[in-house]
Amino acid sequence: MPRPKILLTRRWPNAVEAVLAERFDATFNAGDVPMSPQAIAEALRMYDAVLPTVSDKLPASVFEGEIRARILGNFGVGFNHIDVAAAKASGVVVTNTPGVLTDCTADIAMLLMLAVARRGGEGERQVRAGEWKGWCPTHMIGTKVTGKTVGIIGFGRIGKAFAQRCHFGFGMDVVFYNRSTVDPDEAARYGARQLASVEDVLAAADFVSLHCPGGAENRHLMNASRFAAMKPGAYLINTARGDVVDEAALIAALENGVIRGAGLDVYEAEPQVPETLLKMENVVLLPHLGSATEETRNAMGMKVVDNLTAFFEGREPPDRVV
């Protein structure tokens, strides 16, 4: 029986590609050039499986007509870049890679919070530019993190890991909003307590960190009215998905002093970042590094391997989304 034909839309860690080449008839993106939706649509007609990443776009149009692919092995937890309803209607299974990037993403959220509070990005740029004139009592005064209140929107695996770091590592008071009710004893294990609404969290928090899914239900969850509901002098941290934040409203809030700063790892139109944000000293910008460690990226890839192997052996993929 011929091995299933699979296509990877980007380069993956070498160790994972080696396993995929051994188990499947695999085609790799040698140049690591992002594929257009049209190219992905063509791949769906030529391969038994397509393995996209969170940076690919798979709208409903890519699933139109007769397609050969029966499974999308997504490299990443988020899947709001895929029209899952259209995939399901076309008989295409979608899987993701949950659980293995929790700690690394929580670490990046901590990095952003500390960097923006203590003006780390601004300070490094000053040193590299040769503009530092030496220590003085009033130079580059930031904000203390220890003992402050952090508000978390979304209390899944990553939200919990971030809460744990904040409370037990930095003595922060942790409040959170989650769509479903979390058992108070469970929340207490992470040093956190649940509030009734997003607005309640925004009103209480010195730092607001987003850990909710992207997609339609959360698109622009942070909008102009929500920024206005934040404490004066508060900071926003986003390691979730770019579309959770209305970037135009964020820019206005920063320009008008409604909030004091922001730390961002994700953007609405990646890899494009608004020019205004690039020029702001009170914003720390990272290039979507949430899961970017060797250990995590390998683990994510092996999750996809496990999902594909199960599917083509007639078993239920362990991380099936639809």
Active site residues: 241, 270, 288
Find where tokens 């009215």 sit. 225
Q: What are phi and psi of 24, to 5 degrees?
A: -135, 170
CA dist 97 and 304 (Å) reads: 7
Structure-token match 């992470």, residue found: 190
Could you tell me how many helices (H) and strands (E) the chain has, helices first? 13, 12
**SS3 call for 247:** helix
Quick one: tokens of 84?
């899952």
Backbone angles phi, psi at 27, to 5 degrees: -115, 125
- Give the end-to-end CA distance of the chain in Å, rounded to a whole number: 27
CA–centroid distance for 262 within its chain: 15
R_g (Cα) of the chain, nearest Å: 21
DSSP letter assigned to residue 269: B
Phi first, then psi: what are they for 152, rounded to 5°?
A: -115, 130
Q: What does the angle CA 62 – CA 268 – CA 114 come to, to the nearest 5 degrees? A: 140
